[in-house]
Amino acid sequence: MPVQQRKRRRQKNKIILKKSLLGEVLHQKRYIPLLIAIAILTLLGGFLFYRTSSLHQKMVPETEKNSLKKIPSDVRKVLQQQTHTASISATLHVPILMYHYVEYVQNTKDTERQLLNVDPNVFEEQIQTLLQAGYTFITAKELGDILDGKMPLPQNPIILTFDDGHWDLDTNVLPILKKYHIKVTAYIVPGFVGTNSDSLTPKELQDVVNSGLVDIGAHTVHHVLLKGKPLAYVQEEVDTSKTMLEQEYHIHVYSFAYPYGAFDAQTLSVVKQAGFTTAASTIAGNEQNQQNRYFLFRVRPGYMTGQALLHYLNISWNSYGYISGAKTIINNTE
C-alpha cells in the first residue's frame, strides 16, 4: 500500500503541475519561443536603462579636494628610469590656467560650483591683464609641437584650458575669446554633450569648433576615474572619446585631460598609444618639458587679476628636482 500511495501521489503532482501556468508553458513547446523573447526583451530593457542612466548622469568636476595633486609613485619610477636612458629636454616656463565654470552662479547654495567658477567680467579682466603683460596665448596642441621642435617657442607663452564642456563655454567664454582674438584649449566629455542642461549641446559645441579659436581636447567619454582601472576599461574611455569628437565634428584631437587629474603609468601608456601628443593633469606647476608632456602641470587662477595674477604665474611650485645636473620632475610625487 505505501508503494501504491506514493505512485498515486506522484501522478497527482504531475497533473497539478501540468494544470499550472508554468507547467502548461513547459509542457507545450510552442511557448518556448515566447519565453525566450521575454528574456531577451528583459535583458535589452535593462541594458538600455543602464545606458540612459549613464548618459544622463551629471559629472562631478575636479575640485581641489578630489583632484590628484602629486605624481603617482609608479609614474615616478618610470621617470627615474628615463633620466638614466635618455637626455632631458629643455624645461619651458608655460603656465597653464585651468577653468571649469565662467558664469554668474545663480544658486548660492551650490558651493562646489562657486568654488570652481570665475565670473565672466573677472575672466575678461584676467585676459586683459595677460595681454597687457605681453603673454602669447597658445594651445595644448601647439605646446606639443613646440616640445617636438615643430614650432618655435613664442614670447611669454600661456595656455588657458576649460574642462568638461559646460554650456558657458559657448555662451560666456567664446564671445570674450572673439573680442580679444585669443586661442584656448577645451577638454570635452563627448558622452555628456546634449544629454543634460549643464553640458554643451551639439549645436553649441559645433559653434565653438567653427570659431577656430578653440583647440578641442578629450576628457574621456563619461568623465570617469581612470587610475587603477582595468586596461580594457581605460582604453575604451580614452580611445572612444577621441574617436567620437573627431568623427562627429570632423576635427583632429591632440590633447587629453584626466578626470580628477588622476592617472597612473598604465593610463599614461594608453593615452600615448591613442595618438594624443599632450595630456593635462591637476598637479600645480608652471613649467613643462618632455617628461611631463603627458601630465602637464596646471594652476587655478581663481579671481586673481592684475599684479596678483602675474605674481601667481611666476611662483616656483617645487615640482622639479635635480638629477645629474638636469631638471627632472620627480620631487612632487605620492
Q: Are residues 268 and 129 in the same domain?
A: yes
Three-class DSSP category at 50: helix
Q: 30 and 118 in one domain?
A: no
Domain identity same for 235 and 170: yes
Round to whole Å and give the CA distance between 277 and 294: 8
What global pTM score does this model have? 0.77
CA distance 250 to 231: 28
- Mind listing the pLDDT tens digit for each residue in 162-171? 999 999 999 9
Range of the domain at 298: 63-328
How far apart are the C-alpha atoms of 68 and 74, rounded to whole Å?
A: 14
Same domain, yes or no: 40 and 178: no
The whole-number pLDDT of residue 55 equals 40
Q: How many domains does the chain have?
A: 2
For residues 42 and 87, membership in a common domain is answered with no
Identify which of 226, 219, 199, 286 has the alpha carbon closest to the alpha carbon of residue 75.
226
Identify the helix (H) or strand (E) that includes residue 239. helix 231-249
The upper half-sphere exposure of residue 307, i.e. CA atoms within 13 Å in the direction of its Cβ, equals 0
Helix, strand, or coil (residue 85): helix
Is residue 275 classed exposed, middle or buried when 0-12, 13-18 and 19+ CB atoms within 10 A define those classes?
A: middle
Mean pLDDT of 94-118: 94
Asked if the structure places residue 104 within a domain, the reply is: yes
Mean pLDDT of the chain: 83
Mean pLDDT, range 203-225, rounded to an integer: 98
Is 252 inside a domain boundary? Answer: yes
CATH number at residue 253: 3.20.20.370
Q: Of 190 and 2, which is predicted with more confidence?
A: 190
Q: Is 333 part of a structural domain of the chain?
A: no
Query: What is the predicted pLDDT for the residue at 185?
Result: 98
> Are 39 and 107 in the same domain?
no
Residues 40 and 70 in one domain: no
> Per-residue pLDDT for 75 more than 60?
yes
Instruction: Spell out the residues 6+ positions from residue 118 whose beta carbon is closer than 8 angstroms to its own.
Output: 99, 101, 102, 126, 301, 302, 303
Same structural domain for residues 9 and 114?
no
267 is a domain residue: yes
| Residues 149 and 177 occupy one common structural domain | yes
When pLDDT is cut at 50, 70 and 90, the band that residue 113 belongs to is very high
In a domain, 82, yes or no: yes
* pLDDT the model gives residue 155: 96
Residue 270 lies in a domain: yes
